[in-house]
């Protein structure tokens, strides 16, 4: 069943964005930001939304979208903003939130409108500029992930695994994942088969399929990943669960 973002309040959108960020669901994150950015606030919502933005400040993209619509209200509705200031007691929580919002609104530049068909994409990502994130569950920096390039419905990223480490069982959800081994050797665990892939080898995993990657060698391994999002109904694709791991 499709998710209706329009019916969700701001705290619920924040929780959903948190989960999307945790599981690298970039398309869902973008959809949430677009939904928030398209909303128009009324006077009674501004403080509530500003508080949600502060609560989720660690999710920068989501928080900035909230602050943007709050700042737009402040700049476009001076009289209502002054009335809010007048109604709040100095030093109280709402007053402090409002003060911080006014300070932020003074620094926000108006958003530049773009033609509807224009899509801004990155076309170059130097390897040395990647931001590596720990995603392993065994030990720190054993398994790291970095996003390189993102364009509509596609994502290029990298995965590096230290010797004797495991990616942990994952599901592709609505994505087809194409892997190329750039360095080392890994064991690939799929529901119906398992095999070893060495430098230069490639393989793919279909949507709604569980898989695991294991580096049982002493040498580090690194893979590039091309992620393509399936655009049909997921109900038409059966979920493929993992098979037991067989020691070789």
Instruction: Note the pLDDT of residue 194.
Output: 95
**Residue in 143, 124, 131 with CA at minimum distance from that of residue 214:** 143
Query: What is the pLDDT tens value at each position of the chain, 248 positions in all?
Result: 456 788 899 999 999 999 988 888 888 898 899 999 999 898 889 999 999 999 999 999 999 999 999 988 988 888 888 888 778 766 677 778 888 888 877 766 555 544 444 445 567 888 888 889 888 877 878 999 999 888 778 889 999 999 999 988 889 888 899 999 999 999 999 999 999 999 999 999 999 999 999 999 999 999 999 998 866 555 555 666 665 555 54
Which residues neighbour 81 within 8 Å (Cβ) at sequence distance 6 or greater? 46, 73, 74, 102
> Structure tokens of 97?
């939130």
Instruction: Note the pLDDT of residue 56.
Output: 92
Contact predicate 173/208, CB 8 Å: yes
Instruction: Note the pLDDT of residue 116.
Output: 47
């Amino acid at each position: 069943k499709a998710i209706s973002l329009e019916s969700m309040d701001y705290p619920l959108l924040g929780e959903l964005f948190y989960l999307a960020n945790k599981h690298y669901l970039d398309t869902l994150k973008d959809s949430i930001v677009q939904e928030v950015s398209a909303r128009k606030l009324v006077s009674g919502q501004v403080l509530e939304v500003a508080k949600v933005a502060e609560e989720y400040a660690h999710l920068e993209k989501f928080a900035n979208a909230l602050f943007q619509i709050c700042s737009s209200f402040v700049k476009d509705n001076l009289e209502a903003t002054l009335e809010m200031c007048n109604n709040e007691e100095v030093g109280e929580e709402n007053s402090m939130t409002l003060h911080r919002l006014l300070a932020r609104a003074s620094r926000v530049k108006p958003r530049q409108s773009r033609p509807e068909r224009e899509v801004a994409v990155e076309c170059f990502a130097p390897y040395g500029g990647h931001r590596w994130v720990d995603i392993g569950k065994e030990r720190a920096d054993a398994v790291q992930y970095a996003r390189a390039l993102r364009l509509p419905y596609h994502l290029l990223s990298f995965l590096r695994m230290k010797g004797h480490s495991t990616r942990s069982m994952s599901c592709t959800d609505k994505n087809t994942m194409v892997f190329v081994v750039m360095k080392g050797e890994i064991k690939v665990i799929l529901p119906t088969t398992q095999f070893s892939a060495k430098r230069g080898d490639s393989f793919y995993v279909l949507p709604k399929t569980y898989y695991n990657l294991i580096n049982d060698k002493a040498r580090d391994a690194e893979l590039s990943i091309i992620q393509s999002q399936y655009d049909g109904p997921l109900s038409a694709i059966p979920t493929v669960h993992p098979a037991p791991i067989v020691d070789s």
